[in-house]
């Protein structure tokens, strides 16, 4: 099952429970626009290279479209379409005035110099500048992109349209970014973990967490959960992992990762691979790397009682079925990792109003919206006896569908 097929599967499951009808189902599932561009740049050695760039704009019924931009060798039209759709439902779950979009370039950024990445980014903006903007479509960081890439996008877009800091979010603090944005996805995940802990009687303090992925989401989640009293028993990144049943020294792990570029080789535990981490002995598993890492066969071996999706689409539909049979509680990506887009919304608001919030306000507002979203989803789950994922889609489809009808078809 492809990424787009998996997203469509979840959408259709919820839409049919809601009985929205085949025509409305088709209307809500179909993307507004799909763009593919050829991005050619001159490398530092004088060689010419051409890369494929994508931007899929899924839905704008609730407001301008919003979604990340990733640089990865596996980026393709199917993946971007799937993630754009996920963004539509994610922004609706947390009740942001946005629709969904996603973009990417098929490239291994580790093979390019900083200057080559800058040229690639600016040429990509040249190709899509007429379809993005503060009131149209607002990109943000994603896999292998960061505040510096967002700064290049803002600058290049502004050359066409005048000073426009609100065209992207996730910018550097010194260039109209928001305080709290870097840790937002991990912090939002902590707030969801607290709500789940309250509901199932498993407080964060003393609970054992395993986190696959030590990028922006996984590293901040590990740090914040550790500060909240959680025990981090295993972490991993693309190079490998480390585990310790008694708990890892997270500050020391951060120091090691900062110096070496990876958690691999950390002396405070035993080495472990990524798949080994997914099936290790823990209470809560947080897949926070790439999608489709938990398949049916992996799910059968997962020992965690709770899975909180830090990444986008880390569990396949077949894995979901296994978890449901095993009684494993899965908190879906469109709820669990919505902290990033929520603080991106705060950044957009600050840019439009030409104001700056302090970090305490950002975090307070984030916690409020994440708790409200969880309470809505959990209430649907309890009253309709549905999994949390299906409940989140029911909430999102209801909001997007109502906006679509009210605006006129």
- For 137: left if phi > 0, alpha if psi spans -120 to 50, otherwise beta; the answer is beta
Q: Name the active-site residue from 102, 123, 171, 264.
A: 102
Active-site residue, 326 included: no
Q: How far apart are CA 49 and CA 37, in angstroms?
A: 14
Q: How far apart are CA 173 and CA 147, in angstroms?
A: 9
User: Are β-strands 231-237 and 208-212 bridged in parallel, bridged antiparallel, or unpaired?
Assistant: parallel
User: Are β-strands 208-212 and 33-42 bridged in parallel, bridged antiparallel, or unpaired?
Assistant: unpaired
Gyration radius of the chain over CA positions: 20
Cα(first)–Cα(last) distance of the chain, in Å? 31
Residue 29, phi then psi, degrees to nearest 5: -85, -25
- Spatial contact of 137 and 98, defined as CB atoms under 8 Å apart: no
Q: How far apart are CA 233 and CA 222, in angstroms?
A: 10
User: H helices within 131-183, ranges in order?
Assistant: 147-161
Half-sphere exposure of 265 toward its Cβ, with a 13 Å CA cutoff? Answer: 10
Catalytic (active-site) positions: 102
């Amino acid at each position: 099952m492809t990424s787009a097929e998996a997203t469509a599967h979840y959408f259709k499951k919820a839409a049919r429970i809601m009985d929205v009808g085949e025509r409305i189902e088709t209307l809500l599932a179909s993307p507004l626009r799909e763009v593919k561009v050829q991005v050619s740049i001159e490398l530092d050695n004088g060689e010419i290279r051409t890369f494929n760039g994508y931007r899929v704009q899924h839905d704008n019924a609730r407001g301008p479209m919003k979604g990340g931009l990733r640089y990865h060798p596996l980026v393709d039209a199917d993946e971007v379409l799937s993630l754009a759709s996920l963004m539509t439902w994610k922004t609706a779950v947390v009740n942001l005035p946005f629709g969904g979009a996603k973009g990417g370039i098929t490239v291994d950024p580790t093979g390019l110099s900083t200057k080559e990445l800058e040229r690639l980014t600016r040429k990509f903006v040249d190709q899509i500048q007429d379809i993005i903007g503060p009131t149209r479509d607002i990109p943000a960081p994603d896999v292998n992109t960061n505040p510096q890439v967002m700064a290049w996008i803002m600058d290049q877009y502004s050359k066409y349209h005048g000073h426009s800091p609100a065209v992207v979010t996730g910018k550097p603090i010194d260039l109209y970014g928001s305080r709290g944005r870097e840790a937002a996805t991990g912090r939002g995940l902590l707030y969801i973990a607290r709500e789940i802990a309250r509901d199932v009687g498993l407080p964060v303090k003393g609970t054992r967490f395993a986190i696959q992925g030590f990028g922006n989401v996984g590293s901040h989640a590990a740090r914040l959960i550790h500060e909240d009293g959680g025990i981090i028993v295993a972490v991993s990144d693309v190079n490998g992992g480390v585990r310790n049943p008694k708990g890892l020294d997270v500050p020391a792990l951060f120091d090691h990762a900062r110096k070496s570029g990876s958690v691999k080789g950390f002396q405070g535990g035993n080495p472990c691979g990524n798949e080994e981490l997914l099936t290790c002995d823990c209470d809560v598993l947080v897949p926070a790397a790439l999608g489709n890492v938990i398949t049916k066969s992996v799910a059968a071996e997962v020992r965690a009682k709770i899975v909180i999706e830090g990444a986008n689409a880390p569990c396949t539909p077949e894995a979901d079925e296994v978890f449901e049979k095993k009684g494993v509680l899965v908190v879906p990506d469109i709820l669990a990792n919505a902290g990033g887009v929520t603080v991106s919304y705060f950044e957009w608001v600050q840019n439009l109003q030409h104001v700056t919030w302090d970090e305490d306000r950002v975090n307070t507002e984030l916690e409020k919206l994440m708790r409200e979203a969880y309470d809505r989803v959990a209430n649907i789950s309890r009253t309709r006896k549905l999994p949390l994922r299906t409940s989140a889609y029911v909430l999102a489809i209801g909001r997007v569908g109502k906006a679509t009808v009210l605006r006129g078809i």
